[in-house]
Structure 1
Amino acid sequence: MYFSDEKERPVGSRYEGSKLLRKIHKSHEQLKRHNPDVVISEEPTQNLLNLRRFFRPLDPGCQFFVYPNKRSYSFIQCSDAYLATKIRKEFNGFVHPKLKSSHQPFVISFVKNVPEKGIAETFRPDGLAVLDNYISKDEEKTLTDFIFSHPKVKMLKHRAVLHFGHEFDYDTNSAFRETEPIPEIINDLVKKLKYDGYISAWPDQITANIYEPGHGIPSHYDTHSAFEDPVVSLSMLSDVVMEFKDGANSARIAPVLLPRRSLCLIQGESRYRWKHGIVNRKHDVDPRTNRVIPRQMRVSLTLRKIRTVPCKCPWKEFCDWDREGEMGVPKSGNEAERLEGSYVADVYENIASHFDETRHSSWKAVKKFIDDIPRGSVMYDVGCGNGKYLIAQDGLIKIGCDMCNGLCVIAAKKGCHVMRADALKLPFREKSADAVICIAVLHHIATLERRRQLVEEILRVLKPGGCACVTVWSMDQSHSEYAKMRGNKDENEAIGKGQNPGKTEDLKKNKAERLKVHDGKDFEQQDVLVPWVIDQENKTFLRYYHVFREGEAEELMHSVDGCQMVSVEKEQGNYIFVFRKS
């Protein structure tokens, strides 16, 4: 569907004349950008652009092609050109009564062709395999009849479940409590899997899920510490689209069709780095063809092997196993230096060029701070990055420093005065600066003592009465234009949130003490790894951040001798605070 940027129009209203022509032209331009192979037609054809499935009453035989990746249009292939003409005449430019009042009118055009290939299933996570027709119709009926008739089926909010071998614990996302033995009918399936070479160890945790049409399962990891590789899933009675989401890049989604009677092997990277889930909806879009397919009752059978030795997968940032504290929140200076070296210094060396391409605008509060510095003053930029605050010819004597050699080279080529230096050991004389700015640096320092040391270094180089402006990320991103809406969560079924198997209190403690890859939603803890994505190169890097809670900056400043807080304000999810050397 095409939706304009105009205000809401009343239900039943219609675009007319030149306004409709402008909307049609705009939708055609959008189509050319996204699908240059699709040709607009002035003559009636059986293909219409921009229709929804409630138009089917006018043409029961029509087929829909939908773009789930946030395209604002769809295609419909009508039974013939006559019905296509009838539908277009009735609905073009019209807000149908079945639509909500917030919808825009339909903008409908004939096209000579629809896209030949699906555009959604352009990639799959490494290690993921889908095997069509793994079981026969008779085997499917035998398995589903057994599951439907079992007396111990348990109802959850969005599905019914049945466990064998060990019961899956949805609080810890592990399975250590023995339950009903695995029945022979499922053991026959296991024998087939072993014979075909898809598994090597006998699974000891089996979950059967029964989904009504429209129901799904939240996006989750199958916990590293709880289960071995692979996780095996058999789909029965209905096709379904499972979404795989890159744990280091929440915008990277791979919709994968799981056909009826297919076997899905989730292993390697797809198992350890990617989340998987099924969206609650009554229709899916086949990612291979973009055709709309209705869901029916579906049964899945998931087979897992309980892990008995520590996980040693290469995806340690996504692993919940302790690994002797390697991915824990640093408690000492040595641990902090190691973490900052791997997840700050090394990362910026790798992303320096891309960072420069994406960092040009200035924070309003920072610009105001600089504008208020008397002309002729000396200003240091600690952590100057690509030099964006050093470039302006504003009558100040400005010198920058940064730990990243790549960024220093970039800034120097722009004519900036820069040097490579550690922010905790500044190469400047005491009391030599009238002002200092330190933008987006302090939140990369991994312990309180080291953050305090950075503030002390800034004070050391400031003249008495001199001021500094420091910015950090806020834990509360609710008023940031970059904040993403938090999805609805079912706390009872938030699969994949568990930590090491065992005691619940140990799990909670372990979670709080471990670094976590930020998923683009609200921050759940202060010490996180935040993805930096370079789409052109299909690369993702993880940067360490300590995001600041409300009042934390003030506490830090008050703990440093000679530091006098001047102001704190918030701008686009950042705390910007100014302090003076007393």
Structure 2
Amino acid sequence: MMAPDTSDDVPSCACKGVRRCLVCEGLKEKVQPEIVHHFLYDPQSRLAVGKDAQAASFPFSGVFLWENFISEEEEKELICAMDQDVWKESQSGRIKQDFGPKVNFKKRKVRVGGFSGLPALSHKLVLRMYQESALDGFQPVEQCNLDYHPERGAAIDPHLDDSWLWGERLVTINMLSDTTLTMSLEQGLPELGLTGEVHVAVNLPRRSLVVLYGEARHKWKHAIHRKDIHVRRVCSTYRELSAEFLPGGQQADLGAQLLNIALNFQGSPV
């Protein structure tokens, strides 16, 4: 008897386009930039400090870091609650839980779908955010929990978050391990004599909160590289609505409906 043909038994993953994980790594080619200038973000001075002694530092705006935003006990409580819900396979080796409306970004369509609100434990965290002036008036309409694990080769490639639906501030709570958020600018900074790609590493301590806004939100791409995931890392990212969905905007009624659902804090993953 002939052995069954297993040539098509290729493990599946959720990666699409240029995204990759350890399952599909050998099937996709990644082109590396020829020249990369490396800097480190200093949250005290808010400067990007050159890792090369010859590279000059420069102001890096649009990043706010809040260390020890949650306690160790709160972290345990949050992770325990997440692990009692279902994690779904996502791209680039991640798994996720979504608390938000159903969105088709290509067609620019939004519907409530199964959205029932943000999770209950997020209520106290959102109230705490209001203590910081950088988050004044922040009303999250979506929360995405992401689980990164080195065994899956989890990462997220450099990208800009949508700005049609999502507003000015992106807020992320980093849990279970320290990691690095890499900001990148492909066109370089010719005014500083940096003609290659520029990377600015933003160190994210465990249990910290980071806010991206302004140039860091709209000009610089952000990524979590595989090399910076050493043990399990979980994050919760909160997004607010753009002006189109706020009072006075073209879709203000839909925005009000979504916020009313989101801020009841009785949600489960969709």
User: Quick check: TM above 0.5?
Assistant: yes
Instruction: Measure how far apart 1:247 and its partner are.
Output: 5.5
Q: For the residues of structure 1 that align with 2:238 and 2:107, how far apart are their CA atoms?
A: 14
Cα separation, 2, equivalents of 1:222 and 1:173: 16
The corresponding residue for 1:260 is: 206
Letter in 2 for 1:218: D
Partner of 1:184: 120
Higher relative contact order (CA 8 A, sep 6+): 2
The answer to whether 1:223 aligns with 2:162 is: yes
Measure how far apart 1:147 and its partner are: 1.2
| SS of alignment partner, residue 110 of structure 2 | strand
CA distance in 1, matches of 2:230, 2:69: 20
Q: What number of residue pairs does the alignment pair up?
A: 186
Matched, 1:269 2:215: yes
Per-residue deviation, residues 99-144 of structure 1 (Å, max 9, x unmatched): xxxxxxxxxxxxxxxxxx9827955631112221111111111111
Shift, 1:165, TM fit: 3.1
Greater fraction helix: 1
Instruction: State how far apart, in whole Å, the 2-side matches of 1:256 and 1:173 are.
Output: 33
C-alpha deviation, 1:244, in angstroms:
0.6
Give the TM-score of the pair, scaled to structure 2.
Answer: 0.61
Residues 241, 265 of structure 1: CA spacing in aligned structure 2 closer, same or farther, 3 A cutoff? same
1:147 aligned partner: 82
SS for the counterpart of 2:96 is: strand
Q: What is the TM-score with the length of structure 1 in the denominator?
A: 0.29
Aligned pairs (5 A) from 1:55-454: 119=51, 122=57, 125-151=60-86, 153-157=87-91, 158-167=93-102, 172=106, 176-178=110-112, 179-199=115-135, 200-213=137-150, 214-246=153-185, 248-249=187-188, 251-281=197-227, 284=228, 295-309=230-244
Whole-angstrom distance in 1 between the partners of 2:118 and 2:109: 14
Partner-residue secondary structure (3-state), 1:228: strand
Residue 172 of structure 1: how far off its partner (Å): 3.8
- Decide which structure has the larger Cα Rg and report it: 1
Q: Percent identity?
A: 26
Are residues 300 and 271 of structure 1, via their aligned partners in 2, closer, same or farther at CA, if it must alter by over 3 Å?
Answer: same
Q: Which amino acid aligns with 1:216?
A: A
Structure 2 Cα separation of the partners of residues 119 and 240 of structure 1: 18
**Secondary structure in structure 2 of the residue aligned to 1:188:** helix
Mapped to 2, the partners of 1:175 and 1:125 lie a distance apart of 34
Unaligned runs of 5+ in 1: 1-67, 72-116, 285-293, 312-582
Decide whether the 8 Å contact of 1:244 with 1:256 is kept in 2.
yes
What secondary structure sits across from 1:190 in the alignment? helix
Residue 175 of structure 1 and its aligned partner are, at CA, apart by 8.1
Q: In structure 2, do the counterparts of structure 1 residues 172 and 190 end up closer, same or farther at CA, with 3 Å as the change threshold?
A: farther
Q: Is the 8 A contact 1:245 1:251 kept in 2?
A: yes
Distance 1:161 1:139 in 2: 20
